[in-house]
Structure 1
Amino acid sequence: MTTPSPSVWLRPERPARDRRLSRRRIVACAVAILDAEGGKGLSMRRIAGELGVTAGSLYWYVTTKDELLELALDEVLGEVLAEAGTGPRDGWREALAALAAANRAMLLRHPWVLSDLAGRPNLGPNALALSEAGLAVLAGAGFADADLDAALAAVNDHVIGAVAAETSWRAALDRTGAGTAEWAEEAAAYMRQVARDHPLLGRRMAAAGDVDVERECARRFAFGLECLLDGLAARLPGRP
């Protein structure tokens, strides 16, 4: 009995055999469902219904739901390089910042990716091209060997952490009715205690009441990225 491949990218793509169906159409449908409903809404039967084919016909192109998720992940990773638009005239800081910003934008458009990044191999062409682009920028700046890997990981970790924090913040606002009067009244006594016991935190939490979440998240992301780039610049070979 043949052991299933651990990654869809480790076996050749099968040729299309139905004019109504292709792997590209299947993946596009999967991405649309994931964007709308997350992983809970995705199934081979659901995609078959959306495309007007039988569920069995999908298995010629994709053998498991895990393979489908792997393909969908690589599909949206392709948006990052297209959006970054870096060129040979960009300095390393500008090029790296453009990649990071495009990666953040992609993750906000496709929030399901956050949970799938950690659990799936990134062996697809878009994932590999994106990693190569980031490594090339940092290598051009002067990083090498293990420091090259660590520098790219630091940038990617900042992007993922910032998006996770923003997603959590938005979810918390949704759960509390985005700061409704009822929630504020129930929490008022507790917040007064917080302000008394932790004055700095209390003042910052009070100031956050009228914050534009989207604008503030973008500002925090840019601030953190600038700090990170400053730190990377200070570690370049040849710097005192």
Structure 2
Amino acid sequence: MSTNRIALVTGANQGMGKQIARELAADGLTVFVGSRDLVRGEAAAAEIGGDATALQLDVTDATSIAAAAERIRAEAGRLDVLINNAAISTTRAGERDLAGMIASAKPSRASLDEVRAVWEVNVFGPLAVYQAMLPLLRRSPDARIVNVSSAVASLTLVADPAMSFHATYEPVYAASKTGLNAMTMAMMIELEETDIKVNLVSPGFAKTALVNFEGTDSVEDSVREVVRVARLGPSGPAGTFTTWEGQPLPW
């Protein structure tokens, strides 16, 4: 069994997930680089370096999730840090314009098939991974789950007409992150009497494929809060929803 802390980052072959994995590996953690496409995951792990290992993991596939949990059990014996990062914003590969994506996702126009597909990754995926990895997290003396959400998920914020994203809230991506917040709250309540800490984080608005690279923040800046929370020790807080430097966000 490894004496390093063991981390799993889902959706870690690119973007924010890859940067999170890179920073944790640089801290000396053994990092499983979760990737739906194993070849891309292997390329990312090689670039990350340190003790980073590619792990085939499709968060919408129960067989893939079970196999990933079994591999972590066999190779590491436990899991100390789970970062549910994998997410998609659309299923329309040809959609290249963020404004167009938002317009076509309005409640009156959104494809129900796309809503289901995005929610499958962003809401049900983290729950499925949580269920599979919880026995491994219970083996850790200092386990932490970090779910990567978004400020647009806050119903309190989005209900305010003065907020910049009030008019763009839609049932595909934005509401899926609200759904993730609800799933995270359920996890927090289930584990609040245990030593496993659960936190929810809103990263920056990163320039990644998720938003057609139209974000305003670098990937490095965007993941700072995710990594900060992942690094918290056993005395660190649980049950929080924060943005950079621990600033609380309303649910």
TM-score by length of 2: 0.29
Structure with more relative contact order (C-alpha pairs < 8 Å, separation 6 or more): 2
Query: Which one has the bigger helix percentage?
Result: 1
